[in-house]
Structure 1
Amino acid sequence: MGLLSLKYRRPQHVDREDFRRRTSDLSLDEKRDASLSSGPSGASSGIPDALTFEKIMNGGTCPPCTIRDFMNYLVYIEHSAENLQFFLWYRDYVKRFNDATTSDIALAPEWTKAMEEDAITKIQKDAAGKIKKDNTPAAAIFKGTCFEKPAESVIENKDPFWTPPATADSGDALSILSGTRTISTYQTHTRDAFSAAGAKQPFTIQPFRAEINRVIATYIVDDAPRQLNLSAREMKAVVQALSYTTHPSAFRSLARNIENTLRKQAHPNFIRWTICNGNPARVTFACGLGVGTILVSTLGAILLALSGAKRGWRALLAIGWVIGIATLITACKGMCVVLHGMHHRHVRPWELFDDNSDHASQEELRESKRSFESFGSGNSYEDEPWVVKYDRRNVVCKVFDRQVWIQEPALRQIQDTIFVQSMLSALLGAAILTAVFVAVPAGDYY
């Protein structure tokens, strides 16, 4: 494979909270248009066609860009694996629902777009009415009583014997679910969710109802083990839809938002992170080595300029500047030129101890398999054996950690392009420095 364009730029880092804030401000129609226009991630965003979201999801990539690598990134780096776990479950659920031929499928009608918009409109009106009800009448009811809100002057006195009255609950009704986690059954959790959302209890004879209850208890309600990052409005809307039907269309809005997050936020960040072939210790070492080489070469040029040596000798320092500048630029992009020369990368910390013992290997396989299960515990990894072992490793060991070959051709192509860009920049920088020092008259100080 050849190089990419020399104008190539890595995918920009997309902040998760900023992306969430920007997308939450969109209307329903704008979100739908955004998801329709998302499409495959192309080279214009720094992601070649061989590493698009679809290619990774369909198993068309090699390590370290496979769906398993993507899942590990979301678990250990971005801490948002629940999005991919829900996405994989939903994709499988749609296929299984559409392939079902049992007669009870008729009991799960489609949740239409009109019904979705009506539900969201009603939720917004109820929320606006509740805010008005909580703020205005309460003050009038308690006016003139000992429960009246004190004036600012009273508050400023900070009377230790004055106790402010309990305010009306202005939070979303779904917040009551946080105190009802004592009964560990999916039925109880979902029943509470339907009640809190103001929805009717669903028919239990609907197809896949038990599985949907597990989804609600695992991904949607408050304090769920894999709770998705949903607003109160989004949570109410999907719960009301699921109280009506188990048809996949009930997840339409939620699935669209999750897929949009994976495509436009998690996927670019994953590719950007995967381009780095060294761990933080190695990249820091490479950065220091580049800076040191530049400084030593510059010091040598200064000494030659102050001496009586011929100017041609100063040009030899260009070699050091080229090496130093190229090393520094690639290190700033998370790459080590030595590892790149072999097309190697450091193994990840959670992969490092696989070969130490059968127990460690089995433990890693078990944790990896668990992350692909649709239902289960949360995605916390603090108790995994590799965490303590890796923390105990000294810096030198981390700098020279075990290496593996990069199998994905498209990733090697990206790294080759970045290396060539760094070399061209280094040649330009070295040429300028060489011209400056060669042009300086000899000092003849020694």
Structure 2
Amino acid sequence: MAIPDVPAAQPAPSKADRAQVMLPPKGRYRLGALLKAPNRFFHPGQLIEKELEKVSSSTKMGAKEPNDQFKGATAGKVRGLQRVKLCDVTMDDVIAGRHTPPLTLRDFEDFLCFREKSAENLYFHLWLDEYRRLYDQAPSSQRSPADVIALGQSFKTACDTFFAQTSPLELNVPSDLRRDIDSRIAGVEQASAASPSSKAFLPPQAFDKVHDHTYELLAMSFRSFRKQVVRNADRNRGWFAMFLGILTWALGLIPTIVCCLLDKNRGWRAFGLPLWWFGTVVAVGGFGKTCLVIYLFGDNRQLYPWERQEYNEAGTVSSSSGHSSTDPWNASSASEDGRSSFAATNEKREHTPPGTPAFTSAVPESQSRRSSQHSPLSDLGYFPLRPAPRSVSESSGAGSGSGSRSPTGRSSTTPGGLYFAPAAMQLPKSSPTWESFTKMMSPVVARAQRDLVMTAALYGVVVMVITGAICLSVPNRDR
């Protein structure tokens, strides 16, 4: 089957061209929020559910649909999770967009990109789902030429992105699985070179073993992500809270010391009890990266370092753009002689500098396959829905230096021309102590955070009783 002419290749996507997702809004300390603290403690998540329900009801009444900047769930879905614990939240539900911040796909993607540096496992999982959907749309004998082309290009893009050794998103799989999938891909490449009219792609079942391994790694990352979302403070603020809590506890010793030295009534030592309790609560919360001050002012969390970086680069909060529902994996990657960059990089891996992108081409949008409107791929912040390929002149002049990096110091493309923003992003390990915070919109997380505060309060009671018993038993100084 002859492949139709394709339009001229375009430059690599810049920061402004990639998938735009609105940054989380910055919050402020409001005294009115303190009045709602008892409600958040005794009925965690109730205020969030009412807010989401209000937005949902306004949409049902025919009002203009609000700008869902986080691609999160509406109140109708969230209220069904009213008694769900955080440990019951599944990775598949997060990927499918059934939760609100900080449990969205974008939040999970950020965690993988910046914390664990393993976003390729998520991208491969999403690609395989889309590839399987496209493959199963029609039997092999009934596929249209456009379907065959879309499958072949999606397959080539995945090879260049997840299995090329020069790709920053290369999958980390055991050697036996890698040899098996490499031999399968090489067989397709050879068959395609011998007969250009043949179907140059593998069935989705060929990737099952690789997917099982990467899915296990992704599930381990998700458990770590689930622990992080409960925390409302970063490391620096956690250390500060621990210091403040220990200092508060130490201040509670002053009445005991004064009574001992001045031979006063022991009853005055009880003034230290509130300080011993409160200091312990603050210190235990800081140890778990949960700031009691932020909690008292609402269901909030500190901004992460990568979010601060986005604010610094953008200057102002960028507006969320409407995403195309076009299949994001339909960009092909081919070398000058028509082979994919997977074959080219495996044959010339020693002569190709790391990070050099391969030549790419794209199919006209009219011939591309449309995906589901509710595809979770629309939530991705660093994998664009329409990857723009690099031109031949740019690719040939781009080595491991400026050609493969964006002005902000980030890696701009994979070998398949796909944008991967945080590959080389230099970020601090923690946000500043007094960093701004943003609102959390998940009742599940609100309940889990309340449980952490209750645990810290119980520890505070234990420490207060032990410290009080010791201090009250200390005799006054004899004169």
TM tier relative to shorter chain: 0.5 to 0.7
Q: Distance in 1 between matches of 2:173 and 2:423?
A: 25
Q: Is the 8 A contact 1:82 1:226 kept in 2?
A: yes
CA shift for structure 1 position 382: 6.6
Q: Distance in 2 between matches of 1:354 and 1:361?
A: 9
Task: Show CA shifts across 1:219-256 (max 9, x none).
Answer: 01322231011232111112234436611000010111
Q: Is the 8 A contact 1:346 1:404 kept in 2?
A: yes
2:87 aligned residue (48, 54, 70): 48
- Residue in structure 2 matched with residue 233 of structure 1 by the alignment: 176
Task: Show CA shifts across 1:37-71 (max 9, x none).
Answer: xxxxxxxxx8432x221220111111111000000
Kindly indicate whether residue 463 of structure 2 is the aligned counterpart of residue 429 of structure 1. yes
Assess, with a 3 A threshold, how the Cα gap between structure 1 residues 71 and 300 changes in structure 2: closer, same or farther.
same
Q: Distance in 2 between matches of 1:439 and 1:414?
A: 38
Q: Distance in 2 between matches of 1:405 and 1:273?
A: 15
1:214 aligned residue (157, 181, 184): 157
Kindly indicate whether residue 281 of structure 2 is the aligned counterpart of residue 281 of structure 1. no
Matched to 1:339, the amino acid is I
- Residue in structure 1 matched with residue 422 of structure 2 by the alignment: 381
- Residue in structure 1 matched with residue 119 of structure 2 by the alignment: 81
Task: Show CA shifts across 1:319-378 (max 9, x none).
Answer: 111011111111111110111122211122222365668566459989963335586447
- Residue in structure 2 matched with residue 331 of structure 1 by the alignment: 286
Matched to 1:98, the amino acid is D
Rg bigger for which structure? 1
TM-score, length-scaled by structure 2: 0.56
Q: Distance in 1 between matches of 2:139 and 2:176?
A: 34
Matched to 1:277, the amino acid is N
Q: Is the 8 A contact 1:73 1:270 kept in 2?
A: yes
Q: Distance in 2 between matches of 1:282 and 1:378?
A: 33
Task: Show CA shifts across 1:372-399 (max 9, x none).
Answer: 5586447463766xx57x79xxx9x922
Q: Distance in 1 between matches of 2:250 and 2:384?
A: 49
2:248 aligned residue (293, 301, 308): 293
Kindly indicate whether residue 445 of structure 2 is the aligned counterpart of residue 411 of structure 1. yes
Secondary structure of residue in 2 paired with 1:404: strand
CA shift for structure 1 position 211: 2.4
Kindly indicate whether residue 107 of structure 2 is the aligned counterpart of residue 66 of structure 1. no
Secondary structure of residue in 2 paired with 1:268: helix
- Residue in structure 2 matched with residue 351 of structure 1 by the alignment: 307
Q: Distance in 1 between matches of 2:419 and 2:172?
A: 14
Task: Show CA shifts across 1:126-165 (max 9, x none).
Answer: xxxxxxxxxxxxxxxxxxxxxxxxxxxxxxxxxxxxxxxx
Higher relative contact order (CA 8 A, sep 6+): 2
- Residue in structure 1 matched with residue 215 of structure 2 by the alignment: 259
Secondary structure of residue in 1 paired with 2:438: strand
Secondary structure of residue in 2 paired with 1:99: coil
Q: Is the 8 A contact 2:86 2:444 kept in 1?
A: no
Matched to 1:410, the amino acid is V
Q: Is the 8 A contact 2:237 2:289 kept in 1?
A: no
Q: Distance in 1 between matches of 2:155 and 2:221?
A: 26
Q: Is the 8 A contact 1:278 1:334 kept in 2?
A: yes
Q: Distance in 2 between matches of 1:206 and 1:239?
A: 22
Q: Distance in 1 between matches of 2:277 and 2:462?
A: 9
- Residue in structure 2 matched with residue 92 of structure 1 by the alignment: 130
CA shift for structure 1 position 96: 1.3
Secondary structure of residue in 2 paired with 1:398: coil
Kindly indicate whether residue 381 of structure 2 is the aligned counterpart of residue 369 of structure 1. yes
Matched to 1:413, the amino acid is R
TM-score, length-scaled by structure 1: 0.60
Q: Distance in 2 between matches of 1:219 and 1:357?
A: 29
- Residue in structure 1 matched with residue 392 of structure 2 by the alignment: none
Q: Is the 8 A contact 1:55 1:61 kept in 2?
A: yes
Q: Is the 8 A contact 2:384 2:419 kept in 1?
A: no
Q: Distance in 1 between matches of 2:149 and 2:314?
A: 45
- Residue in structure 2 matched with residue 103 of structure 1 by the alignment: 141
Task: Show CA shifts across 1:390-412 (max 9, x none).
Answer: 79xxx9x9222111121111111
Task: Show CA shifts across 1:100-121 (max 9, x none).
Answer: 3562669xxxxxxxxxxxxxxx
Q: Is the 8 A contact 1:71 1:371 kept in 2?
A: no
Could you list the runs of 5+ residues in structure 1 that have no partner in the other structure? 5-45, 107-204
More helix by share: 1
- Residue in structure 2 matched with residue 31 of structure 1 by the alignment: none
Task: Show CA shifts across 1:179-218 (max 9, x none).
Answer: xxxxxxxxxxxxxxxxxxxxxxxxxx89823322221121
